[in-house]
Amino acid sequence: MLYELLYGLKDTWSGFNVFRYITVRAGCAVFTSLVLSLLLGPWLIRKLRHLCHPTLLDFREHKNATPTMGGFLILGSMLFSVLLWANLANPYILMLIAVTVWLAAFGIWDDYLKLKHKDPKGLRPRIKIIGQAGVGFIIGCILYYHPALDFNTSVWLPFFKNIAIPLGSYYILFVTFIIVATSNAVNLTDGMDGLAIGSILMAAIAYGIIAYVAGNVPFSKYLSVVFVRGAGEVTVFCSALVGACFGFLWYNCYPAEIFMGDTGSLPLGGIIGMLAIIVKQEVSLLFVGGIFVLEAASVVIQVVSFRTRKKRVFLMTPVHHHFELKGWSETKVVVRFWILAMLFALFTLMTLKIR
């Protein structure tokens, strides 16, 4: 909205012409969401303290006084920044907003049930998956059937220039799977102060760079990346997310003053999945989201091992709890996982050139 207003005044003063540049608006989006989250953080924490507190694991009882539902702070500051600085006529921006709001609704529902009934189970897993799959299926149908988008439903393989797997209508199911998988994977990762939001931050930076490249004809051609018309605008969305992540991390770093809860983890996971889909880096999601893959894989391995061998591979899953029970301090686990997340993000960016 503010972008359209300022850019519309370019005939009055040529200086307003800078707002047509994605990089300028991306910088504004980072600053806006960061400042907003820093300013609103203390107020939201005070408000949420009046609610019931989450019931955590036994060895985390000392954190039961920490309020949850901090996803309001992340998503609120991010969406406000997006509404100000992004081109709202861009279909990819609209889809990202829709996925965010849809999954946030299920996250709020889940957190509300946990707080109201003091039950750590919250929303039934089946309901969560139906909600995730529902929005994934709708987005998949829009990408496949919308004539104006002309979206490419082939899946390109990393490290190769011209090798792609055409999925056709099956791409709808593929999109659905990605949204469900990423949303749940981030939800599993959200178990330590700053762990999930720091990992999201690294992925958002990587996808912001990739979106700018994918939406730029010369850059995409030079790096042999699939050109996606309109994807450059997604850089503004990623920048708003980066600013919101930094702002939330200010209050979520150890010892956390607030948790994001499912209000934040479910939509943030869906956003990461959507970004991979929009910039045609679906397979590279395994790299940029390496931390989330490891966390989810540890749960799957543990369940399969216990059901087939009656033995546990890890002391506890997700795997960050395994290292904590091995004697690592919480801050050591988080920082080391951040380092891995940074390396995964850098490796993903390297794959753009190594082809």
- As beta bridge partners, residue 155 has 165
**Residue 166: closest CA among 157, 158, 176:** 157
Determine the pLDDT at residue 310: 87
Q: What is the pLDDT of residue 6?
A: 62
CA distances from residue 248 to 82, 200, 258, 277, 292 in whole angstroms, order as listed: 17, 11, 9, 26, 19
Q: What per-residue confidence (pLDDT) applies to 65?
A: 74
Residue 74: predicted pLDDT: 97
* Residue-level pLDDT at 61: 56
pLDDT value of residue 351: 87
Per-residue pLDDT at 68: 87
pTM given for the model = 0.93
Cβ atoms 110, 122 nearer than 8 A? yes
pLDDT in tens, the chain (355 residues): 665 656 565 667 666 677 788 999 999 999 999 999 999 999 999 888 876 555 555 555 556 678 889 999 999 999 999 999 999 999 999 999 999 999 999 999 999 888 877 666 778 889 999 999 999 999 999 999 998 888 999 999 888 777 889 999 999 999 999 999 999 999 999 989 999 999 999 999 999 999 999 999 999 988 888 999 999 999 999 999 999 999 999 999 999 999 999 999 999 999 999 999 999 999 999 999 999 999 999 999 999 999 998 889 999 999 999 999 999 999 999 999 999 999 999 999 998 887 7
Confidence (pLDDT) at 55:
58
> Ramachandran region of residue 166, left (φ > 0), alpha (ψ -120 to 50) or beta?
beta
Identify the pLDDT of residue 52: 53
Closest to 317 in 3D by CA, of 329, 302, 328, 330: 302
C-alpha count within 13 angstroms, C-beta hemisphere, residue 327: 0
